[in-house]
Structure 1
Amino acid sequence: MPIRPEHRWLYPIDWRELSAFVRFKRAKGRCERCGRPHGAKVQHLGDGRWYDEERGCWRDDRGRIVRGIAAPGRLPRQLRMTELAGEAVLPRTRVVLASAHLDHDPGNNRPRNLAALCQRCHLAHDRPEHRRQRWRTLFRRRASGDLFLGAYRP
């Protein structure tokens, strides 16, 4: 995820090297929550389950093997969501790893506080923080509306 300009000064000067170490040396290019490989295009069902082509099995959003689901080519047509050359296929997502701060503090760059997460796991991890930020933004907009335009009426 891109670093906000107002938070840039919280990151160390060697952040790129530290992030690369966490993502590729320590995590070996895989998400530390679900195990998705960096740079791969994975097929998924939209609810967190994804097909691990290396091992030929379905995995859940925590990386555990899911049994009882057929291989992507053998799934019923109704489950395949995208049309490609007249053939119904599962959606594919390109996996990108990012270094996430587990305590949401960009100033805390200890290795135990950093995790290599794919975009799906990173968004899920940051969901409470995004909700708080959204509430603050809406609260500020309403407050400035009251200040300059009178009482806010939705």
Structure 2
Amino acid sequence: MPIRPEHRWLYPIDWPEISRIVRFKRAGGRCERCRRPHGRHVAQLAGTDGTWWDVEIAAWRDGRGRPLRRQPAFVPLDAIRMTRKPVYLATAHLNHDPTFSGPRWRNLAALCPRCHMIHDGPEHRRRRWWNAFRRRALGDLFTGRYN
């Protein structure tokens, strides 16, 4: 995920190299949560909790990357809804603070887009609430109460 120009100054100058090391050396080119491989299209069952087909082990994995104990039930071909999504790993800050990467980059994780959005969801909701609260407060301060 590209860094917005207004946030660029928060990251260290060698961020591209740090990100590359975390994604490909430490994580081995796979998501650290669900094990999806970088740079490949992954077949995912639509309407499930992230069940996807891992070509390397020829088995289905759940949304956390564990092989399924029982395979999905037989479904006729015309009823199968599968999506093929490309996977591009991004380096995520686990505490949502880009200014601190921690010792040995323990605060960083290589995540696929799905896991990254699941991880960032509560923070996005908190920021959305805070921005709306701030806008209403400024409106009350300068233009009176809202209708």
Which interval holds the TM-score relative to the shorter structure? 0.7 to 0.9
Q: CA deviation at 1:78?
A: 6.0
Q: Secondary structure at the match of 1:44?
A: strand
Q: CA deviation at 1:33?
A: 0.6
Using the size of structure 2 for normalisation, the TM-score is 0.86
Partner of 1:98: 90
Q: Which amino acid aligns with 2:7?
A: H
Following superposition of structure 1 onto structure 2, how do residues 95-134 of structure 1 map, counting pairs within 5 Å? 95-110=87-102, 111-134=105-128
Q: Deviations over 1:80-139 (max 9, x none)?
A: 22xxxxxxxx11110010001111110112311111010111111111111111101211
The answer on whether the counterparts of 1:80 and 1:91 sit within 8 Å (CA) in structure 2 is no
Q: Secondary structure at the match of 1:42?
A: strand
Following superposition of structure 1 onto structure 2, how do residues 1-154 of structure 1 map, counting pairs within 5 Å? 1-46=1-46, 47-70=49-72, 75-77=75-77, 79-81=79-81, 90-110=82-102, 111-153=105-147
Q: CA deviation at 1:143?
A: 2.6
Q: Distance in 2 between matches of 1:53 and 1:152?
A: 56
Q: Which amino acid aligns with 1:69?
A: Q
Can you give the 5+ residue segments of structure 1 that lack an aligned partner in the other structure? 82-89
Q: CA deviation at 1:151?
A: 2.1
- Matched positions, count: 143
Using the size of structure 1 for normalisation, the TM-score is 0.83
Partner of 1:86: none
Percent identity (aligned) = 62
Can you give the 5+ residue segments of structure 2 that lack an aligned partner in the other structure? none
